[in-house]
Amino acid sequence: MFKQSRYNLVSTAMDGGVLITNVLYNVNIKFPVEDGEDVKCILKEPSLINTEKQRKIYDSLVKNKILLPDDVDEKKYVDYKCNEIIYGNDMLHLTIIPTDACNFRCKYCYQDGPKHVMKTETVEAIKCYLDKNVKRFNGLFISWYGGEPLLEKEIVIDIMQYAKNLCRNLQVPLYGQMTTNGYNLTDEVFDELQKNHVLSYMVTIDGNKETHNFQRPHVTDKDSYTVILSNLKAIRDKIHRNNFRIGIRINISPEIIPYLNDYVEFIGKEFGNDKRFGIIWEWVKNWGGERICSNYDLVMESYDKTQYERYLDKITEKGLRMDRGQALNRLGSEMCIASRKNGFLINYDGKVYKCAMALFDSDMEQINCLGKIDSSGNLLIDDYKNSMWVGQGAIPDGCAECGHYPECMGLLCPLTMKIKNRFVCPHNLDKEQSYFARNEEKMGKFQIIEVSD
Ligand code: SF4
Ligand code: SF4
């Protein structure tokens, strides 16, 4: 007896075909529109097979693990994989903040206060830490965050170069990621970063010139929009390697809504059909801090977002990749790195934290700050505090039955789940699933299953 996998995600393709994704088994298959009804019937009731065509569809569903033997406990398997990811030595995840200074004063930003730069002693301590620890792992992931990390580009390059040489000697893959406002991301800087394995970027353009410059004012330049756009175009035109991805993020506020259609048209015209570029679709939220209090009319909480989701299919039509800011559809890809035993944030002052978003919340300092890195590269951290963030524990209601469980493993945000005990799943993954599936189909990710009569 066979049953449907509880982690199948079924969507309708642009041409009416059936798209089936299963992250647990890394399956993305498409059935043509003429087989759609049969596929849906078999998924609903696998034992009802009446025709030869249905038999062939059934066999291909079994072969691709969309249908499984009745006695398979898939959740147990996800939890086993989850423990491997959380406690295993597969990947060392470091987020590094070289400075908390920024050249922008975005109206929704939660960061404020005096500005600092990482000292040389801390940079050297991080290198010592890498020397002592990278050999224990199968991969090193370094994420650059701020402030604006490119205000201290030399620190970024220095550490990435060191990590590159170390990882090359140890034959360990190195992957760098950066969240930057893009103002200092010229093609020359990009070239240097990319050669040192910073391969994934999130750069924000909030709508058109007027809305961007309004929502994201630069400290001195009244038109940062033009600078960022020309940087991205120069990267598009002058960098010929294909091993990087830039997610262009838009933070949608009521100010931007009237221009959303034009935005997608414009970004599509400039960057569509270039798989190196994609869009990260985000709604302005109250991300904390003081500044949003006087700009609360930018927050989208009370708006009906669904009416704007139609633009998501338009992104696909324009040949733009849709990003969530990280690799999609992988086991654990939506799990916050603070959930991992070996996921740490090193601040400019050498203090070691778990959560970047809680960095400026003084009430959270006690539980968020695990300790510090010493000059010999040892993490002097409180294991008990780390354990408060790490691991599954009691997962929220509904997670076990949710098709996205293999992606987030019930660990979307340990800050709200485990520390504040206030988690309510936003179900964003559900809402956007069909749009993402169609987008991935356009990007060539689905294998077409042909079943002839
Ligand atoms: S946290 Fe949300 S998306 Fe993740 S498994 Fe639970 S219900 Fe699904
Ligand atoms: S714990 Fe939550 S708020 Fe903190 S970085 Fe992770 S997802 Fe973001």
Domains and CATH numbers, the chain: 2-72+444-448 (3.90.930), 82-422 (3.20.20.70)
Task: Tell me: pLDDT of 326 over 70.
Answer: no
Instruction: Report pLDDT for 325.
Output: 55
| DSSP code of residue 369 | E
**Do 405 and 282 contact (CB within 8 A), yes or no?**
no
Instruction: Report pLDDT for 104.
Output: 96
Query: Could you tell me which residue, 19 or 393, shows the higher pLDDT?
Result: 19
The residues that bridge with 12 in the sheet, in sequence order, are 18
In tens, the pLDDT along 259-306 reads: 999 999 999 999 999 999 999 998 898 888 888 888 888 888 766 666
Query: Could you tell me which residue, 362 or 30, shows the higher pLDDT?
Result: 30
| DSSP code of residue 179 | E
Residue among 402, 409, 413, 418 to mutate when testing ligand 1 (max atoms within 8 A of CB): 402
**Do 380 and 372 contact (CB within 8 A), yes or no?**
yes
In tens, the pLDDT along 82-100 reads: 999 999 999 999 999 999 9
The minimum-distance atom of ligand 2 relative to the CA of 358 is 4
Instruction: Report pLDDT for 293.
Output: 82
Ligand 1 proximity of 413 Cβ (cutoff 6 Å): no
**Do 337 and 413 contact (CB within 8 A), yes or no?**
no
Instruction: Report pLDDT for 305.
Output: 66
Residue among 392, 412, 416 to mutate when testing ligand 1 (max atoms within 8 A of CB): 412
User: Residue 431, CB half-sphere, CA atoms under 13 Å: how many?
Assistant: 13
Ligand 2 proximity of 68 Cβ (cutoff 6 Å): no
User: Within 239-382, where are the H helices?
Assistant: 260-271, 310-317, 365-368
User: Residue 142, CB half-sphere, CA atoms under 13 Å: how many?
Assistant: 27
Residue among 74, 78, 329, 404 to mutate when testing ligand 1 (max atoms within 8 A of CB): 404
Instruction: Report pLDDT for 398.
Output: 84
In tens, the pLDDT along 196-232 reads: 999 999 999 999 999 999 999 999 999 999 999 999 9
In tens, the pLDDT along 152-182 reads: 999 999 999 999 999 999 999 999 999 999 9
Burial bucket for residue 307 (CB in 10 Å: 0-12, 13-18, 19+): exposed
Q: Which amino acid does the sequence have at 110?
A: Y
Ligand 1 proximity of 425 Cβ (cutoff 6 Å): yes
Confidence of residue 453 (pLDDT cuts 50, 70, 90): low
Ligand 2 proximity of 352 Cβ (cutoff 6 Å): no
Q: Which amino acid does the sequence have at 438?
A: R
**For the CA atoms of the chain, what is the radius of gyration?**
23
Task: Tell me: pLDDT of 329 over 70.
Answer: no
pTM confidence score: 0.94
Distance of CA 394 to the CA centre of its chain: 24
Q: What is the mean pLDDT of the chain?
A: 93
The H or E element spanning position 43 is helix 36-44
Confidence of residue 452 (pLDDT cuts 50, 70, 90): low
**Do 110 and 100 contact (CB within 8 A), yes or no?**
no
Task: Tell me: pLDDT of 328 over 60.
Answer: no
Instruction: Report pLDDT for 205.
Output: 98
Nearest to 390 by CA among 355, 352, 344, 338: 338
Q: Give me 86's structure tokens.
A: 């959380």
Query: Could you tell me which residue, 2 or 395, shows the higher pLDDT?
Result: 2
Burial bucket for residue 374 (CB in 10 Å: 0-12, 13-18, 19+): middle
Cα distances (Å, whole numbers) of residue 298 to 38, 255, 426: 46, 7, 19
Q: How remote is the CA of residue 69 from the centroid of ligand 2, in Å?
A: 37
Q: Give me 180's structure tokens.
A: 């930057």
Q: How remote is the CA of residue 91 from the centroid of ligand 2, in Å?
A: 18
Instruction: Report pLDDT for 221.
Output: 98
The residues that bridge with 283 in the sheet, in sequence order, are 252
For the chain, give percent helix, strand, coil, nearest 5: 40, 20, 40
In tens, the pLDDT along 23-69 reads: 999 999 999 999 999 999 999 999 889 999 999 999 999 999 999 99
Using H for helix, E for strand and C for coil, what is the string for 203-264? EECCCCHHHHHHHCCECCCCCHHHHHHHHHHHHHHHCCCCCCEEEEEEEECCCCHHHHHHHH
State what percent of residues in the chain have pLDDT above 90. Answer: 77
Ligand 1 proximity of 411 Cβ (cutoff 6 Å): no
**Do 202 and 179 contact (CB within 8 A), yes or no?**
yes
